[in-house]
Every structure is written in structure tokens, then in C-alpha cells.
Amino acid sequence: MKKFRLLCCGLAGYCHADAVLANVLTLGTSQDSMVTEQFLATPQGTNIYMIAGTNGQDEDSRSLLAFNLTAIPSNAVVSSAALTVKVVKLAPGFPSSGTMDLRRLLVAWSDGAATWTNRLTSIRWSTNGAAAPVDFTNSITQSITVTAQTTYTFVSNSNMVADVQRWVNNPASNFGWIIISELQGTLFTECKFGTRENSGNEPSLTVQFTVPATPPALTPLSILTNRFRFSFLAETNRVYTVEYLGTLTGSNWTSLTNLGPLTIATNVVVSDPLTASNRFYRVSTP
């Protein structure tokens, strides 16, 4: 992990910061629904399941889901993103396995308005049921292989990370994903996923990200009782190590004190007895 460093000599100082703080956040969907030929003009946003695949009447369905990522700072760097879904029911005669593909949506939709024909009220998909490359990407973000009624995860990969990073950096582009069965068009391949209305079976997105540290401002303080002092703002949930060195050409830093983690941001004062020679100080955080 990178270090945050604060170096000072006498009452003059300068600082550099590139520390990061790792975070893990698990989110429920902000929207989830399906578009289905079975109910051409009826939105399914309040249904307890969303379908991908084809039923016994040769009617196709596709699942839609999106997540509100505003809890993640816009300057965050996403390192992992995994989508977990629960298969609550499979069509009678479902094959031994079926691949479900996740693709990034490129247009806005609403779970209160999306149907097989429309994505928003009075606004149609480019083609009934949505189609690439206008409504969603040609490329597949990630896939799962469904074999039974259980929980599955679209595991993190570079595509998942890229999608979520794009949405964190540009929330206006966050339209979520569509799940399409590779067996669509084959009878009895319906796969029903739980939605947010299906307690205990709802989808979730787990994102791991890092946030760059805010560069601290070194504030020299007046000498008090023959002690050199300076202060800096310590952020929450970080552990800080204060060290000193007699010369910048050296490499053997000596520990002065350890601080944190703090529950609230705190202006920390560091003090050390004056010496006959210069002393350089460093504050680092993992």
C-alpha cells in the first residue's frame, strides 16, 4: 500500500500525499425489472422475479437491473465489482445448464415503465426487447452458468470493474445491466431471478474501491516548553505513524508515535523535544 508522507525541518515544511483507503460496499438494486413478450405492454417493476430466457409459448424475456452508486466518491478507484443474483425458479425441463450474459445498458429505462416495446413512457427501445449496439453493448461484461435454483455471482473481472468505474466517474451514464440468456429462442429455458421485492433473494453488487487521501496541510506551531511542534488533520479510519530522521540522506527512520484509527477527523498535534541538530519528521498511513 502506498505511503502518505509529511516531511518537515525546523519551522518550515512541505508535504506530499498519495495514500489510499480501501473500502468495500454492498448495494441493493435501485431498479430491477424485466422486459417480456408475455406481457408486451405491462411494466414488471414490482414483480418478485425477473426472467431471462424463453417460456413454453415461445415468449422471450430479459432481465434489467441497476444500482445507485452515489455512495462511492467520484474520485474513487474501483478494484473489484461482483454481482450476486439468486435463481428462484427454473422452467420445467430446463436444460442441464444455461449461460446468462451480462451486458451494459446504454440508454435510460424505468422499472415503472419498461416493457418489451418501451424503455420509458412513450419512448421505445431501438427494437422490441432492446438490441445492441443502441440499447446495450455488443460486448459481454460477464457470464454465469445456471444449473440449479441457487445463488450465482457474476464474478469480478476487468469488464465488471470498467463498467462500475465508468458509472462512478460519470453517474449520468449509469443505466445498469441487462441479463440475456444464450438459450433465448429455445423453449423452456426461462430462468427466474429474485428482485428487490423478493426479500432474501434480491440482487446485490459488492464493490471494492480505494479513495486517495486528502493532502494534509502541515501547520508549524510555536515552540512550547522547549518542544518542536506541528499539526496535521488526521482523517477518519486511518492509522498514522509519526517518524523522524536526522538527515534526508539517511534511511533509518525512528518511530516517534502511532495514532488512530480515529472515529472523527481530528487536528492532531505532534511534539518532540528540540535537539542540537535538524530533525526531519514523517507521517505515514498504510
73-109 pLDDT per residue, tens: 999 999 999 999 999 999 999 999 999 999 999 999 9
- Per-residue confidence band for 17, with pLDDT thresholds at 50, 70 and 90: very low
- Per-residue confidence band for 61, with pLDDT thresholds at 50, 70 and 90: very high
- Per-residue confidence band for 21, with pLDDT thresholds at 50, 70 and 90: low
Taking only the tens place, the pLDDT of each residue in 205-258 is: 999 999 877 666 778 899 999 999 999 988 888 888 898 988 888 889 999 999
Region 105-131 average pLDDT? 97
pTM: 0.76
Q: How far apart are the first and last CA of the chain?
A: 6
Contacts of 49 by beta carbon, 8 Å cutoff, 6+ apart: 88, 89, 192, 193, 194, 195, 198
Torsion of CA 49, 55, 58, 64, to 10 degrees: 20
In the chain, pLDDT over 70 holds for what percent of residues?
Answer: 91
Is the pLDDT at 9 greater than 70, yes or no? no
Assigned C-alpha cell, 286: 498504510
